[in-house]
Copies of this chain bind each other. A is one copy, B any other.
Amino acid sequence: MNKSTFILKGNICYTETRDQLTVMDQGYLVCHEGISRGVYPVVPEKYRDLPVTDYHDLLIVPGMSDLHVHAPQYPFRGLGMDLELLDWLNTHTFPEESRYADPEYAEKAYRIFTEDLRKSATTRAAVFATIHIPATKVLMEQLDASELKTYVGKVNMDRNCTDTLRERDAEAALESTSEWLRETAGKYPNVRPILTPRFAPTCSGALLEGLGALQREYGLPVQSHLSENLSEINWVQELFPWSSCYGNVYEHYGLFGGEAKTVMAHCVHSSDREVKLMKNSGVYVAHCPQSNINLSSGIAPVRRYLDEGIPVGLGTDMAGGANMSMFRCIVDAIGVSKLYWRLVDQGSKPLSMEEAFYLATKGGGAFFGKVGSFEEGYEVDALVLDDSGMRSTKELSTRDRLERYLYLAEEYGRLAGKYVAGKKIL
């Protein structure tokens, strides 16, 4: 029998819709060749021969998708947190990313990132590398071996950055990107390439235009940054004076949704026009609450995006965010939504636990396909959560145990099992 065909038993929680948790205590999750055949209170007759792994009283929840994470920034996580975006990039980010010109350095640094990511709650991730092809290949190889499912992007930037990270010109950048795509094609079953213009300020129009052509040629997805910081937005307006909004720059070059599946990180200060564009283009928002705190960017209006029907997931934005934990990311998303309600707009209801959990699982998972739920037909990414270290005198419902786990995961939680697309990796 296929090793990805089995049943998991435990207290199962997942979301089908944004605002409701589906809970089945002592339920059976049926996985057939990596795909869910549903969750049942008793094993249906036709599945009774499948092997059952009984996790007893532990919680079983969908794996989480980190929609925005910079692998090369992992070595300086939790450092230099007293700066805003543009100063932080020049002081901390660009010098560190420059070191990845050396594949041996990349080998060592990415090893730590990959090992820690593998042990985390993340099963899928959209990952930024650097401009360097050899280092990006190292990252792809390591991530492939980790058995996580990821998108990895070789970064493009041909202006407004330190010399050591600037691609010579648009032509060289595009040639290099094509080379990277050719050389890695089909080599890493668990890793797919994603076009990654760093952000509009470091990309010439010619580069963005060429990337749009590559997108159409290869049918690639796209990731970048959007409207994170006020100075950044003003800068984009100066660099692309014809643009109606920051997002319009990407759109103009065919890198903003539509045929190009696109995820944009942050969207903290998007104008009405930009929000409309995001909505019409089906662009995903990677909401990165902790990074938006750390870099003093602000709070993204996530409630509005949800109300508009814009797809939203969560991102750690390592190392704008310091923590790899998607549990922490969920808690931060709830927290900033409360402060947004209190300080900015009392018409904007805070995110409930259920909603934030949805964003981390099914919300962000959608970028990867049918991922982030246990409904029939979904790929089985699953986490087994052991909350026995969270001692209490209270009897708790499974729903409440999940809420508590999110808040206390780093201090008292333990990941007791991890499955990606039906494969047990922890």
Contact = CB atoms under 8 A, between A and B. Distances in A.
Interface of A: 74-82, 96, 99, 105, 108-109, 112, 116, 290, 293-294, 296-299, 322-325, 331, 334-336, 338-339, 341-344, 350, 352-353, 390-394, 396, 400, 403-408, 410-411
Contacts of A109: 393
Contacts of A325: 411
Contacts of A403: 78-81
A108 B393 contact: yes
A324 B390 CA distance: 12
Contacts of A352: 82
B408 A77 contact: yes
Given A79-B403, A81-B403, A408 B112 contact: no
Contacts of A75: 392-394
Nearest to A397: B79
Contacts of A341: 296
A404 B105 CA distance: 21
A411 B323 contact: yes
B343 A79 contact: no
Q: State how many copies of this chain the complex holds.
A: 2
A406 to B, nearest CB: 7
Given A79-B400, A325-B411, A407-B78, A342 B298 contact: yes
A294 B408 CA distance: 14
Given A325-B411, A393-B105, A411-B325, A81 B353 contact: yes
B393 A112 contact: yes
Contact of A81 (B76, B296, B334, B339): B334
Contacts of A339: 293, 296, 298-299, 336, 339, 343
13 contacts: A75-B392, A77-B404, A78-B408, A79-B396, A81-B403, A82-B352, A296-B339, A298-B339, A299-B339, A322-B407, A323-B407, A323-B408, A343-B343
B105 A342 contact: no
Contacts of A296: 338-339, 341-342, 350
B299 A343 contact: yes
A76 B400 CA distance: 10
Contact of A411 (B293, B298, B410): B410
B406 A78 contact: yes
A389 B39 CA distance: 38
Nearest to A325: B411
Most interface-central of A77, A81, A298, A352 (chain B CB within 10 A): A81
Contacts of A290: 335
Contacts of A82: 350, 352-353
Contacts of A390: 78
A239 to B, nearest CB: 24
A82 to B, nearest CB: 6
A241 B403 CA distance: 40
A335 B299 contact: no
Most interface-central of A76, A105, A299 (chain B CB within 10 A): A76
Contacts of A344: 343
A353 B79 CA distance: 10
A397 to B, nearest CB: 10
A396 B78 CA distance: 12
Given A108-B393, A392-B75, A81 B407 contact: yes
A98 B112 CA distance: 48
A266 B355 CA distance: 28
A74 B407 CA distance: 13
A297 to B, nearest CB: 7
A297 B112 contact: no
Nearest to A74: B392
A238 to B, nearest CB: 22
Given A109-B393, A296-B338, A322-B408, 8 more contacts: A76-B392, A77-B407, A79-B403, A81-B334, A81-B353, A81-B407, A112-B393, A296-B339
